[in-house]
Structure 1
C-alpha cells in the first residue's frame, strides 16, 4: 500500500464521521465551547449518555475529537487538523468556486480559547519525527519558511527567524527526545502579537504501531488572544505529515513561503 493510499484510508474515517448530523452537532458544540466533559455534552443533545459516548468514540477514531484529563474530569477538544488535511489534499484542488464557503469554515476552526489541542498520526518513527521538529532546514520546509535554531537542551533559548528578522523566541522548558518538548512561546513578528506576551507549546510524541501520534498543546493563552498565535498549527502539521510520509510539500502558505525563501541568495537570509 502506498503512502497516499494510507492517507486516503484515514480520510475515509473523517468523511464517515462527518456524514452524521449528530456528530456534526457535537463538533459544533465543541466549537462554541472547547474542552467539555461528557456530562456537559450530554445535556446539549436529546439522547442518552451511551449514545453520546458512541458518537464521541467515532469522532475520536477519526481524530476529530481528542481528550485530556484534568483532575477527575475528562475533557473533549475539537481537533481541526483532519479537516485541514481534507482541505489541503483534496478541496484545495478545486478551491476557486469554493472560497467563500471555505472562508466560513476557516473562521469556525480558528476559535479562541485558553487552550488549543491538535493531534495527528504520522507514519514515521519517534526519532524521525523529533528530527523534523528540531532540524532547522527540515522544519523550515513546512513551518512558513521559518528557520528555528537552538541547541535543544533544557533551559536553552530558541529563535525563529525569517527574511532576516526575528519572528518568535522562547525557552526550551523540557527536552526529552524523542518523546516530549515543552517550550515557552513569544511571537514578535508584529506589534499586535508581541502584545500578547508569552504562552506555552508542548509537543508530545507517542509511538503507535508503525506510526506516531503527535499531540501539540498550545496553552497559557489569553482569553480572546490574537489567532495569529495558534491559527497556523493546522497547516504546519498537515505539511509535516505530508513531508515525512511522502517527501513532498503541500501547496499551502507554509510551503510556499519556504519555496520563496529557498530561492533567495544565502547572504540575504
Structure 2
C-alpha cells in the first residue's frame, strides 16, 4: 500500500474523520479525551487512532505520563501536491479545502503552542540530514533559502534570503538561531527566529529515524510558544507567504526521492 492509499483509506471512515475534526479543534489530546467525544469502546477508539497513525495523519508525543495525539497535515499536503493539479473535479476541491484546514492546526495549552509534522522519505538519514543543514540542498526546495550551520552546541544558525526574497528587498539574513544539540544524522535541536516578524526565539527539533528498509522518518516539532505570527507563518496560514512546514516537507520528500523539487 502506498502512502496515498493509506491516507485515503484512513479518511474514508467517518469516525476517523471525526477524530481529525476533534484534533483540529484542539490538538494535543489524550486518548481518554478523544474517547469522551465518542460512543465507542476504548478499544475501538484505539483501533481508529492506530489507522490514523499508520497513515501518518496523527503523530503521538509523550508528555510526562500522558500520550498526546497531534494532527499531522503533511500527508494531506502530499496528496494535494500530487493530485490536485491533475484533477480539478469537486472531490479534489474538497480535498484542497481539507488541506488548508489541516495546515492551520496546532495545540495550545495555556501559553504553550506546539506544531508536529512527520513525513516518510525513501532516503537515508544522512541524505536527509544533508538536505536540512547544507545550503546547496536548502536552496533547492521549500523557500529555496540557503542556510549556514555551526553544528555544535552553541553554534550559530542563519537562514539567508533566497534570490526571490532579495529581489523583493529582503535583507541578507532572514532567520537566525543557535544550535542546542547536534547528533548527525539523527537529531538536531535549535532555536529559530524569523527576524522580519520581530518575535522571540522559538525551539525547533528535527528527528530522523531509519526503519531499515530504505525509508526514513523525519519528524519536525516546532515549539512556537509566545510567537503567534511565527506560528501562523510556519503553519502556512499567512496568504502569499508560502505553505509553511507542510509545503517544505512535501517539497523535500519529492526532491530526495525524484531529484526534482515541486516548486521552482
Of 13, 19, 30, 1:20 maps to 13
Matched, 1:41 2:34: yes
Aligned 1:250-261 pairs, distance under 5 A: 250=262, 255-256=263-264
Q: CA deviation at 1:225?
A: 4.4
The 8 Å contact of residues 112 and 225 in structure 1, kept in 2 or not, is answered as no
Q: CA deviation at 1:107?
A: 3.9
Give unmatched runs, 5+ long, in structure 2. 108-112, 237-243
- Cα deviation, 1:190-236, whole Å, max 9, x if unaligned, reads 3xx22x31111100011112211111000142375440134300011
Of 233, 237, 244, 1:228 maps to 233
Q: Helix, strand or coil for the counterpart of 1:203? A: strand
Of 100, 109, 134, 1:106 maps to 100
Q: CA deviation at 1:76?
A: 0.5
Q: Helix, strand or coil for the counterpart of 1:217? A: strand
Distance 1:47 1:224, change over 3 A: farther
Q: CA deviation at 1:126?
A: 1.1
Aligned 1:1-269 pairs, distance under 5 A: 9-94=2-87, 102-103=96-97, 105-113=99-107, 114-162=113-161, 163=166, 165-188=172-195, 190=196, 193-194=197-198, 196-209=199-212, 210-222=214-226, 224-226=228-230, 227-231=232-236, 232-250=244-262, 255-256=263-264
Distance 1:12 1:100, change over 3 A: closer
Q: Helix, strand or coil for the counterpart of 2:48? A: helix
Distance 1:100 1:85, change over 3 A: closer
Q: What TM-score does the superposition give when structure 1 sets the normalisation length?
A: 0.84
Distance 1:103 1:54, change over 3 A: closer
Q: Helix, strand or coil for the counterpart of 1:93? A: coil
Give unmatched runs, 5+ long, in structure 1. 1-7, 257-269
- Cα deviation, 1:19-45, whole Å, max 9, x if unaligned, reads 000000000000111010000000011
* RMSD of Structure 2 on Structure 1 (CA): 2.0
Q: CA deviation at 1:69?
A: 0.7
